[in-house]
Amino acid sequence: MTTAISKEYAEALFELAAGENLLRETSDGLVTVLSALRQTPEYRQLLSSAAIGKKERMQALDDAFQGKVPNVLMGVLRMMIARGHISSLEEMAREYEELSREYRGESVALVTSAVELKEAEAVAIRKELERRFGRTIVLRCQVDPALIGGVRVEVEGRVIDGSIRNKLAQIKDVMNE
C-alpha cells in the first residue's frame, strides 16, 4: 500500500474517531491490534491472505477484537481487509498518530543519548523543549553509545546537537581553519 492510501485510511479513521470523541481510545485500540499482529504472525497472515475468504477473515477480526477496540476502528480495519490493505496497518497507524498529535498540539522529540536518561533529565529536557517550541512535547528516547556523552534532539525538523561527538567535531573544524 502506498503512503497516500495509508494517509487516506488514517484521515478517515481520525475524522470518525474525532467525530465520536474517541481519539485516545482509537489510539489505544491501534496499539492493541498492532501488538496482537506482531505477537502472532500467523494471525497477520490470515487477515491478509487472499486465499482465505473475506468472510472468514472478517470473522477472525471480529472474534479477536469486537468489543475490545472502538467500532470506528473496527470499521476501518474491515475496510482494509476487504480491499486487501491490512498488511499496511502499521503505516496507517503511524499516520493516525501524527494526525492525533497535531490535533492535540503535540510534537515528538527524538532524544538520543550515550546512556539511558534518568527520569529527571528527561523531564528537564521536555520542559525546555516545551518552553522553546510553545507546545506539548512527547519524548522518544534512544541510546546510541557512539555519542560518548551529551544528547542530540530532533524535533519539528530541527536538530539540537549537544553531544560530545558534535562538540569534538566543532573543535576539530576550528583547529583546521
**Among 102, 132, 167, where does a domain finish?**
102
Three-state DSSP state, 3: helix
The total number of structural domains in the chain stands at 2
Task: CATH number of the domain at 111, please.
Answer: 3.40.30
User: How does residue 1 score in pLDDT terms, banded at 50, 70 and 90?
Assistant: very low
Whole-model pTM: value is 0.71
pLDDT digits (tens, 9 = 90+) for 12-47: 999 999 999 999 999 999 999 999 999 998 998 999
Q: What is the number of residues in the chain?
A: 177
pLDDT at 66 over 80: yes
> Across the strands, what pairs with 158?
155
Q: Are residues 26 and 87 in the same domain?
A: yes
My answer on whether 96 and 110 are in the same domain is no
Choose the final residue of a domain: 76, 102, 128.
102
d(CA 112, CA 149): 10
